[in-house]
């Protein structure tokens, strides 16, 4: 004869075996981890977009809103090779961008002459901060000129269907890393030009301020810890800037070649 209490225990649907409860806890833990990873990914991507927007001085969202293709994510999910309409639309955008780059080439030439002239001002070559700012202006101005020259000289390759395909793929949003690379490459000539002009203005302000508060520039010299730290900081900054510009120029050449 089976005890009534044991029969209730055996058939009670509210009681689950321990291994089922463990599986449920494991699934809940996995779901929580996935949710946290997605949240961290969104935060990280937002930080990257904000950083690139700052580095391009706010031109990245402007170029994206002005020149992107009017497509949705659903249209590009299974995108075939570029149609004639897409190629024609991209040719219109490329023609407008070439006009902007051509105008920027003339302005870059003037800013480059200004930055080279600043090197002849007393107190620029002999002081770390003004010298660093002036060299940075020269690097950014030269990069802007080279990037514009790359795009303009290879304008025939910009009209190819493969670049139109990349343009359509990068248009739905800036969420994909490829889209960020595409748009930052297009905006890089103008952003480098503005950075060069800003460095020139900062150089003039620093030199004027040094003359105002000290009667003249503070020359480099000595073996003090501050002087060595200034030299190291200047070297690291300029080296990083040069490496970044070289990478951006290589990206521009790869983009024009459709790679």
Long-range contacts of 205-213 (CB under 8 A, 24+ apart): 206/129, 206/130, 206/133, 207/121, 207/123, 207/124, 207/127, 207/130, 210/123, 210/127, 210/130, 211/123
Distance CA 97, CA 158 (A): 10
Q: Please, what's the b/e burial string for 152-162 (b: 16 or more CB within 10 A of its CB; e: otherwise)?
A: beebeebebee
pLDDT of residue 36: 53
Cβ-based neighbours of 24, under 8 Å, separated by 6 or more: none
pLDDT at residue number 22: 63
**What's residue 25's pLDDT?**
62
CB 55: neighbour CB atoms within 10 A? 16
Which tokens belong to 15? 């009681």
Round to whole Å and give the CA distance between 154 and 182.
17
Query: Which residue numbers in the chain have pLDDT < 70?
Result: 1-43, 45, 71-87, 161, 212-225, 258-259
Two structure tokens written together for 258: 């459709």
């Amino acid at each position: 004869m089976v005890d009534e209490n044991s029969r209730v225990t055996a058939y009670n649907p509210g009681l689950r075996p321990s291994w089922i409860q463990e599986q449920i806890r494991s699934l809940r833990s996995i779901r929580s981890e996935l949710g946290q990873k997605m949240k961290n990914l969104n935060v990280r991507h937002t930080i990257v977009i904000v950083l690139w927007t700052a580095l391009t001085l706010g031109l990245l969202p402007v170029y994206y809103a002005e020149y992107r293709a009017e497509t949705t994510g659903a249209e590009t999910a299974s995108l075939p090779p570029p149609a004639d309409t897409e190629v024609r639309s991209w040719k219109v955008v490329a023609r407008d961008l070439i006009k902007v780059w051509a105008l920027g080439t003339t302005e870059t030439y003037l800013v480059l002459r200004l930055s080279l002239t600043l090197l002849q001002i007393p107190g620029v070559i002999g002081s770390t901060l003004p010298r660093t700012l002036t060299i940075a202006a020269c690097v950014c101005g030269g990069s802007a000129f080279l990037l514009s020259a790359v795009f303009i000289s290879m304008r025939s390759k910009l009209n190819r269907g493969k670049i139109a395909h990349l343009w359509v793929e990068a248009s739905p949003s800036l969420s994909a890393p490829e889209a960020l690379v595409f748009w930052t490459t297009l905006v890089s000539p103008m952003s480098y030009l503005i950075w060069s002009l800003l460095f020139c203005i900062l150089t003039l302000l620093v030199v004027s301020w040094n003359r105002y508060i000290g009667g003249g520039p503070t020359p480099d010299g000595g073996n003090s810890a501050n002087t060595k730290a200034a030299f190291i900081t200047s070297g690291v900054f300029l080296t990083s800037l040069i490496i970044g510009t070289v990478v951006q120029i290589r990206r521009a050449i790869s983009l024009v070649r459709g790679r």
